[in-house]
Chain A
């Protein structure tokens, strides 16, 4: 087969994937109000963004939510993965199946089911409901990431540590946790990004007391064009890029 055909094709698709992102970034520095033609270089939309107190508050809220959701889901997810990996217990298949269903089921189904639950138990919609929901949809991804690491984990390593005189606790501290650390970090970063990106579930389970960024963007972009969104989108893009590079770097380093 000729070589340039696949290459041209790959280039074309990548171009299509990146053109909208590039347009967004370029327009975020556009001075023009209408946003369709170039009106000169400007940082005014970034300024507008940071002068908008509600917007800044939503940013902090989102950041805090993503931080806490990623941390909680990493903790629970890592423990779940360890339990699935080490223990034999009844209903292990059911547990696995439930995690799989959470991962595969349409977000909107998860969203309405959680909304129903929170209303039934009388939970005020806000930070707590968001946290519970976000941890739930991040959980399977963390479990999978940690499980993948554990499946390549040499069962003899903990034994070797014990054999050399380490107590169970010391072994966990000096061998088990350092070895699965890359997976924990990768899982955490994944959870962080998923939480920061979520629109569907948050739309249902958030309340007026706790406004988060994706929902604020949502209300802005539904009608017309808002140049501030370009600036915000660019910031988010840079942020995710840094996070992604960080996670890839961690994974690559751990493979060596």
Chain B
């Protein structure tokens, strides 16, 4: 069992009239890769800046082990940050950038030289020590920023959307690189991003934030497969929400739910249900099965969009009652029925047991349609 490294307790922060953090509690474990995920304005960056010491909470405390850091200035905290646009000092060489933190500690020169060289070797930039930041590519600047932050051997590395300025391909490479570094160094990474794909692929745990409140805290798998609420379900990946109504409660821990007139048998969810209660049936696009119009399973609809994605074929299907369904099927050239034309009638079904049930929520949360993934 990992130990708690940093605990955030009852953190609140208000900017003008807007509550950015609302009595937030979070324990960050030693050596984990934890991601703060959420749309812009959810408080993730403020939270990170509070850990670094650039913002101070109105209420609450931050403790590292037994040390209270709440009002410690940034220069006295044993944590370092990798900034969004790297914030490399433009007037210093790569070497001087990386050495800056050690010079501040007044380390002896030979030690600085050795440690900077080690750090640069770690990010494969040994040969670039004499260059200025503007002579480096985006990816190289990113590596310098990381080297500069880890050379001080911090207890924790804070990364503020460090990959957002890179193009897609480089971003994927850097994701792998960051994971490798984290394993090798064994230090805790706190990673801020609005990119759910990045969060899912890199993290040990994900904190989903919205309006300064934690929506869900869990492993990537938990967050994706068992979202705690509609917001998380919408924000992390694409989801079909089907309206359901509890038709019957069985003794064997299952319930019967009416979805589009189909009576399906589901596992009983964690929340309490009563007969006649409306609820949401969540199905990821890859859980959907598209069947031929002659099939007796599923609901009738017609294909309105087909997008070939290489390994998958993504379609949008309009059901007869107007509901839009996203389906993502693995490409199968041997299946003759696979290729539907636009406008063609089909039936939509899914494999029971892959669904996830959520209760109805107050209207405020359901309005969050504009959130982009």
A and B touch in the complex (CB under 8 A): yes
Tell yes or no: B100 within 8 A of A by CB: yes
Known A-B contacts A154-B85, A154-B87; A165 and B134 likewise in contact (beta carbons under 8 Å): no
Q: Mark B68-106, 1 if CB is under 8 A from A, else 0.
A: 000001111000110111011111000000001100110
Known A-B contacts A156-B83, A156-B85, A256-B134; A165 and B91 likewise in contact (beta carbons under 8 Å): no
Tell yes or no: B354 within 8 A of A by CB: no
Select which of B74, B105, B134, B148 is within 8 A of A159 by beta carbon: B74
Within B99-122, which residues are at the interface with A (CB < 8 Å)? 100-101, 104-105
Select which of B80, B88, B91 is within 8 A of A163 by beta carbon: B80
Taking CB atoms, residues of chain B closer than 8 Å to A166 are 75, 100, 104
Tell yes or no: A161 within 8 A of B by CB: yes
Taking CB atoms, residues of chain A closer than 8 Å to B105 are 165
Shortest Cβ distance from B74 into A: residue: A162
Shortest Cβ distance from A182 into B: residue: B91
A166 to B76, CA, bound (A): 9
Taking CB atoms, residues of chain A closer than 8 Å to B75 are 162-167
Known A-B contacts A160-B81, A163-B80, A163-B81; A179 and B91 likewise in contact (beta carbons under 8 Å): yes
Tell yes or no: A116 within 8 A of B by CB: no
Flag if A175 contacts B89 (CB, 8 Å).
yes
Q: Mark A161-195, 1 if CB is under 8 A from B, else 0.
A: 11111110010001100110000000000000000
A92 to B90, CA, bound (A): 30
Known A-B contacts A165-B101, A166-B104; A160 and B89 likewise in contact (beta carbons under 8 Å): yes
Tell yes or no: B52 within 8 A of A by CB: yes
Tell yes or no: B330 within 8 A of A by CB: no
Flag if A162 contacts B87 (CB, 8 Å).
no
The A interface, classified by DSSP as helix, strand, loop or mixed, is helix
A65 to B41, CA, bound (A): 53
Taking CB atoms, residues of chain B closer than 8 Å to A256 are 132, 134
Tell yes or no: A157 within 8 A of B by CB: yes
Shortest Cβ distance from A175 into B: residue: B89
> How near does chain B come to A32, taking the closest CB pair, in angstroms?
53
Tell yes or no: B152 within 8 A of A by CB: yes
> How near does chain B come to A183, taking the closest CB pair, in angstroms?
13
A175 to B89, CA, bound (A): 7
Interface centre among A161, A164, A256 (most CB of B within 10 A): A164
Taking CB atoms, residues of chain A closer than 8 Å to B87 are 154, 156-157, 159-160
Taking CB atoms, residues of chain B closer than 8 Å to A163 are 52-53, 74-75, 80-81, 149
Flag if B89 contacts A157 (CB, 8 Å).
yes
Interface centre among A165, A166, A174, A178 (most CB of B within 10 A): A165
Taking CB atoms, residues of chain A closer than 8 Å to B132 are 256
Shortest Cβ distance from B78 into A: residue: A165
A92 to B196, CA, bound (A): 41
> How near does chain A come to B141, taking the closest CB pair, in angstroms?
12
Flag if B90 contacts A179 (CB, 8 Å).
yes
Interface centre among B54, B73, B89 (most CB of A within 10 A): B89
> How near does chain B come to A166, taking the closest CB pair, in angstroms?
5
Taking CB atoms, residues of chain A closer than 8 Å to B89 are 157, 160-161, 175, 179
> How near does chain B come to A214, taking the closest CB pair, in angstroms?
37
Flag if A159 contacts B83 (CB, 8 Å).
yes
Flag if A164 contacts B84 (CB, 8 Å).
no
A199 to B73, CA, bound (A): 52
> How near does chain A come to B283, taking the closest CB pair, in angstroms?
42
A161 to B73, CA, bound (A): 12
A159 to B80, CA, bound (A): 11
> How near does chain B come to A191, taking the closest CB pair, in angstroms?
23
Taking CB atoms, residues of chain B closer than 8 Å to A156 are 83-85, 87
Flag if B148 contacts A164 (CB, 8 Å).
yes
Known A-B contacts A170-B104, A179-B91, A256-B134; A164 and B80 likewise in contact (beta carbons under 8 Å): yes
Taking CB atoms, residues of chain B closer than 8 Å to A164 are 75, 80, 100-101, 104, 148-149, 152
A154 to B83, CA, bound (A): 11
> How near does chain A come to B314, taking the closest CB pair, in angstroms?
38
> How near does chain B come to A255, taking the closest CB pair, in angstroms?
9
A178 to B89, CA, bound (A): 10
A175 to B90, CA, bound (A): 9
A156 to B86, CA, bound (A): 8
Taking CB atoms, residues of chain A closer than 8 Å to B54 are 159, 162
A208 to B312, CA, bound (A): 89
List residues of A whose CB falls within 8 A of some B CB. Answer: 154, 156-157, 159-167, 170, 174-175, 178-179, 256
List residues of B whose CB falls within 8 A of some A CB. Answer: 52-54, 73-76, 80-81, 83-85, 87-91, 100-101, 104-105, 132, 134, 148-149, 152
Interface CB pairs A-B, < 8 A, 9: A160-B83, A160-B87, A163-B52, A164-B152, A165-B101, A165-B104, A165-B105, A175-B89, A179-B90
**A-B CB proximity, top 3 nearest:** A165-B104, A164-B101, A156-B87
18 more contacts with CB within 8 A, not counting A159-B74, A163-B52, are A154-B87, A156-B84, A156-B85, A156-B87, A159-B54, A159-B87, A160-B87, A160-B88, A162-B54, A162-B74, A163-B75, A164-B80, A164-B148, A165-B75, A165-B152, A166-B100, A174-B100, A179-B89
